[in-house]
Amino acid sequence: METQPTRGKLGRKPRSIYVYSLGLAFNPGLRRVLRALGYRVRVGVPVQPDAEVAVWGRKPTSERGIKIARMCRRNLLTLEDGFLRSVLAGRAKGPPLGVIFDRTGLYVDGFGASDLQTCIEASRVLSDEAIAQSQDGLERLRALRVSKYNQFDPAQNRDLPDRFVLVIDQVVEDTSVLYGGANHETFRIMLETARQHHGDLPVLIKRHPDAARGRKRGYFDDVTSATDMLLSSDNSNPWDLFDRAVAVYTVSSQLGMEAIFAGHRPHVFGGPFYAGRGLTHDHSPGQVARPPVSPAMLYHAAYRCYTRYFDPYFNVETDDIRTSFTLAAGARHAALGGASVFWDMRLWKRPFLRRYLSKGKARFLKDRDAALRVARNKGRAVFAWAGKIDATDRKAAGAAGVPLIAVEDGFLRSRGLGATLVTPVSLCIDRTGIYFDATRASDCEAMISASVDLPDILQDRARSARERIVSAGLSKYNLDARSNLPDFPSGKEIILVPGQVEDDASIRLGCFGIRDNHALLRAVRRDFPNATLVYKPHPDVAAGLRDGKIADPDGCADIVTDVEDIAALFPHIDRVATMTSLSGFEAMLRDVPVTCYGVPFYAGWGLTDDRVETPERRNARPSLDQLVHAVLIDYPYYWDPVTQQPCAIETILDRFERGQFGRAGGAFNRVLSKAQGALISFGPFWR
């Protein structure tokens, strides 16, 4: 699996394309994309011999460019949004991540020639390796549930019936409709055919996002009052609809192709590019049968051969793999809905919480009940730092009818300590509990339990991320290993015992026996009397910022190390023994055995040596990569520290590998963190 942004396919001097519409000439986002894909946008007369004239689709403004291309005898290049475009619909919402360049015709013209039809023909003679890669891409698309536009609300489809007929609406006189030989009558016939073929089932009309939001009209805007018909939400995920649909009907929508990838054979009433290939029920009288292709061949042609992709984080060309990861991450972030009410958040956290989570005006309130009142009046949730939430707070939120959502640092957090106020690049946002609280269920637990059904293609993604983390030596804080490694004896089992902050919430809510570092060391010495114990104090404790210092660790430990970055120790140890430290999970990433004396989020799943009783609800038995996907991909939300945009874990790994973080905490935060160290005895004041 490719995991790095690519340089771009051209690898040479940018080609000049001349444009004659304001949208193409002066849209900075689109110019940025085209520049990354190897094109320089110009306005004027295309005098260079290799210059091309570019138009966007067949809009009215395209006629000017078409005429100039003919007059100057220059090649006409037709641009369109790719089949993976963006999270939000509409060009004003941001540049496309996928762009189509066609020198032959229009891909929406299913009856004419286009570069896409050439790609489809070429896909029929692909190598077995290329077919396997395209099948992986198809399965990845289905598993990530991404589409052209990706602003979805997961709650929208919960009240839909289990079985229905899916009829796909489109924008009135859209290019794909006109070039597909369709009109209003075609849509009427399609709807009547669907109702006749499935008279005992309701018909669900999937509206186009632009029509549903009032920007344009759809063909079925005025025919949805019948009792046997339902309307989908404007932000319904089409993959959720495909799962329940017994049949899919379309004229020429891209969703017809996605329905094929979902396992359907859609009924097609227009002339889209994917019709006539043995993958559809064709109802258009003008449809010509073409040589058949498989869904994987169609995917290769449309997503790998025909479309080119832009990486918005590194301003380079990339591929369908990275683009699907980017859109999935963006869709998940958009589904948060925007946090507007925060309770008792520290001052230094407020700027990044506002950037990361708030899509409008954010209210930061110190008083819990005031926060609940404001949220109830707004119909919103209250976001609070997880360590401050207790059972009383949850009870008050329940009585107020307000969701109380826990926020916590992610597991790949930063290059520097949270106690030194370095801004995190990931956050865990949990609606049920929080990952370190073993006394109650959490979203993290639910995701780990569900991971046993993870598709192979996503397990491959988790394995790739894990291998990159290990190869780069990454951990939660990624500190510099300034001290020399200790001398490790040979011939004995070496056990790393990571110290923890003893008043940390993970100790309070995840330990039911041993609760301090000294007791942990004594227990490990008891259970492993012949081993060499290596004790590493917690970085916050060693820095004098938190509680947990042991007066005489040498009494139980054989080696006490001051190596700052714990990842430097993993290649030299045989086991980790911990209460609830994240270092246990980081050791698991490296296939190092872990013994747990508490109940961290990774214990109780059959992957650790558990010395205490774990919750009965943790009865799933995921593999390591399934666990990794749940914990590092499904659960946290990642934000790119350079562009300040939501992103996938792969982008964060790129940043870590390249050292592209800078002084993320800011000068003020660094001064404030030093003051906190001086005021350690007044912890409740600043924490």
pLDDT in tens, 297-346: 999 999 999 999 999 999 999 999 999 999 999 999 999 877 789 999 99
DSSP H helices in 312-455: 320-334, 350-357, 368-378, 391-400, 443-450
Within 8 A by CB and 6+ apart from 89, the residues are 149, 151, 209, 210, 213
- 11 burial (CB, 10 Å; 0-12 / 13-18 / 19+) is exposed
Query: Stretch 41-54: mean pLDDT, rounded?
Result: 92
5 has pLDDT over 60? no
The whole-number pLDDT of residue 672 equals 44
The whole-number pLDDT of residue 215 equals 74
291 has pLDDT over 50? yes
Stated pTM of the model: 0.91
The whole-number pLDDT of residue 574 equals 97
| Average pLDDT of the residues of the chain | 89
Residues 556, 476 contacting (CB under 8 angstroms): no
The whole-number pLDDT of residue 66 equals 94
Instruction: Work out the percent of the chain whose per-residue pLDDT is above 70.
Output: 89
Strands (E) located in 202-305: 203-206, 229-231, 245-250, 267-268, 281-282
447 has pLDDT over 90? yes
Query: Stretch 616-630: mean pLDDT, rounded?
Result: 98
Query: Stretch 143-163: mean pLDDT, rounded?
Result: 87
**What band does 555 get if pLDDT is binned at 50, 70 and 90?**
confident
671's enclosing H/E stretch is: helix 666-678
674 has pLDDT over 90? no
**What band does 480 get if pLDDT is binned at 50, 70 and 90?**
low
Cα–Cα nearest to 445, from 616, 647, 650, 591: 616
Q: Tokens 């009494």 map to which residue? A: 555
Cα–Cα nearest to 493, from 574, 436, 612: 574
Predicted confidence (pLDDT) per residue in 381-428, tens digit = 999 999 999 999 999 999 999 999 999 999 998 877 655 678 999 999
Write phi, then psi, for 575 (nearest 5 degrees). -165, 155
Between 669 and 625, whose confidence is greater?
625
The whole-number pLDDT of residue 340 equals 84
123 has pLDDT over 70? yes
Predicted confidence (pLDDT) per residue in 454-477, tens digit = 999 999 999 999 999 999 999 888
685 has pLDDT over 60? no
DSSP assignment, residue 645? S
The whole-number pLDDT of residue 47 equals 87
Predicted confidence (pLDDT) per residue in 240-275, tens digit = 999 999 999 999 999 999 999 999 999 999 999 999
Q: How far apart are CA 383 and CA 385, in angstroms?
A: 7
Predicted confidence (pLDDT) per residue in 570-607, tens digit = 999 999 999 999 999 999 999 999 999 999 999 999 99
Instruction: Work out the percent of the chain whose per-residue pLDDT is above 90.
Output: 73
Predicted confidence (pLDDT) per residue in 362-382, tens digit = 999 999 999 999 999 999 999
- 53 burial (CB, 10 Å; 0-12 / 13-18 / 19+) is buried
88 has pLDDT over 70? yes
Q: Which of 145-159, 359-373, 381-395, 543-557 is least confident? A: 543-557
DSSP H helices in 597-658: 624-628, 649-658
